[in-house]
Amino acid sequence: MNAGSGDGDFLAAGGPARHIPVLRDEIIALAAPCAGGLYLDATFGAGGYSRALLATQGARVLALDRDPGAIAAGAGLVAESNGRLTLVEARFSDLAAVAAGLGLGPFDAALFDIGVSSMQLDEAARGFSFRFDGPLDMRMQQSGLSAADLVNDADEEALADILYHFGEERASRRIAKAIVMDRAKAPFRSTAALAAMIARVCPGKPGDIHPATRSFQALRIAVNDELGELVAGLAGAEAALKPGGRLAVVTFHSLEDRIVKLFFAGRSGRGEAPSRRLPGEPIPPPPTFAVSGRQPVTPSVAEIAANPRARSAKLRHGVRTAAPARAPGRDLMALAALPQRAAKGR
């Protein structure tokens, strides 16, 4: 997701290293690429993971990205790979179907770097950040419903739910009410206009994050269905990995990390106490992942100093067992969706 520290051996796709994934060395160590191995880079971005995997002679990579800009920028790396890199424009929720359609798999490792990339944040025209004024867009695929559509068309209750659930914004109702009032005079079209309005109704304190930070996160997650994509992607990776294959996932905020943590806990049987099972209680399915070591893994002090955007990164990982893959549970699906009824007391 974010540009990190590193040497010049693994330049980002398309030239100078603008974007080297956070915890790259830890991720590649977990993947343990070898000659003849097949690897899945579910979030290609600028190609940092893929290039590092391809540094092992004979390793092959299937890489996905839903952003057509990332696919176009990765053409050079595809050419350099001499057929060892297959780059596909697709959501990682569809990874199992994409792999099957290409006749690829099972995989030795699957790597995820969840969220918006540094290049997307730094490109004003994409509308992901309010650091630069730009159109209120936020679409990773550059098609479909935009953040402006959501802000200008959704009703007040729906907006409040999005801000509260996906942004953990305590002032969600106040902000949603102000949005509805202001858009009646003129629709929101720019990132600067929306950020300024939020700062007006929820002024921040010195040293705090910008008052619009959580709202922008919430809108981006809603526009791109990021949490639903994550749940489906984890289940797809489970189905696509071979026994002994590794799954490694880097997240950047608590909602994502909560889903990944719950996924690995449920799939590894953590917390199960067979001796306490009630008579007649069904036996849970066998674990599909083995999880070991101290987790989550976080960036070093040196990496954070070189790249402050890395400070919130968390890496969780597991090793695939031979047990059959299974569908996401209701607990994971509930974390990825808005609640059926709005919570009170916001």
Q: What is the DSSP letter of 312?
A: G
Nearest-angstrom CA–CA distance, 236 and 116: 20
CB 179, CB 158: distance < 8 Å: no
How far, rounded to the nearest angstrom, does the alpha carbon of residue 249 sit from its chain's CA centroid? 9
Angle at 333 between CA 22 and CA 211, to 5 degrees: 55
Question: Nearest CA to 235 among 141, 320, 108?
Answer: 320
> How many residues make up the chain in this entry?
346
Beta-strand relationship, 241-251 and 107-113? parallel
Nearest-angstrom CA–CA distance, 195 and 186: 15
Sign of the CA dihedral running 319, 253, 232, 332? positive
CB 152, CB 184: distance < 8 Å: no
92 is in an annotated binding site: yes
Nearest-angstrom CA–CA distance, 326 and 306: 40
- Side chain identity at 190, as an amino acid letter? S
155 is in an annotated binding site: no
CB count in 10 Å sphere of residue 310:
23
101 is in an annotated binding site: no
58 is in an annotated binding site: no
Alpha-helical segments (H) within the chain? 24-31, 48-54, 68-73, 75-80, 95-102, 118-122, 147-153, 156-167, 172-183, 191-201, 213-224, 226-240, 254-268, 301-306, 330-336
48 is in an annotated binding site: yes
113 is in an annotated binding site: yes
65 is in an annotated binding site: yes
Which residues participate in the annotated binding site for S-adenosyl-L-methionine?
A: 47-49, 65, 92, 113, 120
Binding site, annotated residues: 47-49, 65, 92, 113, 120
